[in-house]
Amino acid sequence: MKKVKVAVIGYGHLGKWHCQKVEAHKDSADFVAIVEKFPAGQEAAKTNHPHVKVVSSIEEVINDIDAAFVVTPTSTHFELVKYLIENKKHIFCEKPLCSNDNEAKILTEIAKKNNCLIQLGHSERFHQAWEILRDKFQKLAPPYSIRINRVAPFKGRATDVDVVQDLAIHDLDLLLYLFQQKPVEINGNGFKIRTKNWDHVSLDIKLQNACEAKIVIGRNSVKELRDLEVTSAQGMIMVDLFANKILEASSSQFEDGSFVREFAYQKRDHLLLEHFHFYDSILNNKPAIINFKDGVRAVHLVDVALRSLETNDSIKVHLG
């Protein structure tokens, strides 16, 4: 296979950007089709990509493609991913992989029988900050305490899902990716403010070996905050994901006499990197950079967090 024959499913807010990234990888991707259910989106897709076939359902082009990007609302991921696996297509699925543990279990069974590459869109893993800090985080001696904020004023988007599925999933995935000590129990508290779903949530997470994490996620906040802070006997590291800055206060003074040092990291195009890795994995037989199991584990943490919110109880995590 010299080029991957690709369809993008869903021409909404993020689907438009995915289509641009397919176009940006002309050497490795052959843009076969855009699949969009509704006429307004189909018209926009035709205008912006006149050389690409625009259809209303994936069945119409399933025999013409090697791979598909699933960029539709979360409630549709399960059926689409199932259909694509059954048809032995490579899949890039935007987060989350599916809506709950039961769906993940079914997909796991089907995926075992088919040899397709499945990459998940946990795009927050692509911050350059993690390349600089992950090794340090992995070696951090317990106990340590992690605090993550991801809040913003109301934008009216993704209100069909709660903030755990839409936003906290990024941070739950980052916990698994960045730190050695894994979640063992989650206790959630939250509010339904503007929608019938959780709009503001606070998750208290017990990690292994007396470590802990607190994740605060909200879409009805007075200001925008996106940061991650880790504190231990070795000091504090704070990553401002908005300003692309790392701030560090060590257990001793820095060489220049200061108590806090600050440095900037490069802002990157996460979607472009995701596309690069997806085609590279397919064409060069490499494992997915963020794989199916990562997707299943993130869905499990979301499932546990939502059960905790609904029952007002702490719920145990079983990562498998």
Ligand X SMILES: NC(=O)c1ccc[n+]([C@@H]2O[C@H](COP(=O)([O-])OP(=O)(O)OC[C@H]3O[C@@H](n4cnc5c(N)ncnc54)[C@H](O)[C@@H]3O)[C@@H](O)[C@H]2O)c1
Judged by the rule CB under 6 A, the positions of this chain that interact with ligand X are 9-15, 35-38, 41, 71-74, 76, 94-95, 121, 123, 157-158, 166
Least distance (Å) from ligand X to the CB of residue 249?
Answer: 30
Cα dihedral across residues 166, 173, 78, 25: positive or negative: positive
User: How many C-beta atoms surround the C-beta of residue 293 within 10 A?
Assistant: 16
Least distance (Å) from ligand X to the CB of residue 9?
Answer: 5
Q: Which is nearer to ligand X, 127 or 211 (CB)?
A: 127
Least distance (Å) from ligand X to the CB of residue 294?
Answer: 13
Sheet strands (E) in 196-289: 200-207, 212-218, 225-232, 235-240, 245-250, 261-264
Least distance (Å) from ligand X to the CB of residue 56?
Answer: 7
Contact 186, 315 (CB under 8 A): yes
Q: Which is nearer to ligand X, 112 or 157 (CB)?
A: 157
Task: Calculate the alpha carbon distances from 194 to 134, 153, 160, 283 in Å.
Answer: 36, 11, 12, 45
CA distance 68 to 6: 6
Q: Which is nearer to ligand X, 13 or 88 (CB)?
A: 13
CA distance 318 to 320: 6
Least distance (Å) from ligand X to the CB of residue 63?
Answer: 17
Least distance (Å) from ligand X to the CB of residue 98?
Answer: 10
Q: Which is nearer to ligand X, 154 or 204 (CB)?
A: 154
CA distance 5 to 7: 7
Q: Which is nearer to ligand X, 121 or 188 (CB)?
A: 121
Q: Which is nearer to ligand X, 9 or 140 (CB)?
A: 9
> Which residue's C-beta sits nearest to ligand X?
12
Convert 215-248 to b/e letters by CB count within 10 Å (16 or more is b). Answer: bbbbbbbeeebbbbbbebeeebbbbbbeebebbb
Least distance (Å) from ligand X to the CB of residue 273?
Answer: 12
Taking Cα atoms as reference points, which of 106, 121, 4 lies closest to residue 70?
121
Task: Calculate the alpha carbon distances from 246 to 142, 239, 297 in Å.
Answer: 21, 5, 28
Least distance (Å) from ligand X to the CB of residue 185?
Answer: 26
Least distance (Å) from ligand X to the CB of residue 261?
Answer: 30
Q: Which is nearer to ligand X, 163 or 207 (CB)?
A: 163
- Look at the block and give the residue holding tokens 């089907």: 110
Q: Which is nearer to ligand X, 71 or 246 (CB)?
A: 71
Q: Which is nearer to ligand X, 140 or 228 (CB)?
A: 228
CA distance 122 to 269: 13
CA distance 213 to 170: 14
Taking Cα atoms as reference points, which of 133, 130, 129, 111 lies closest to residue 120?
111
CA distance 287 to 7: 21
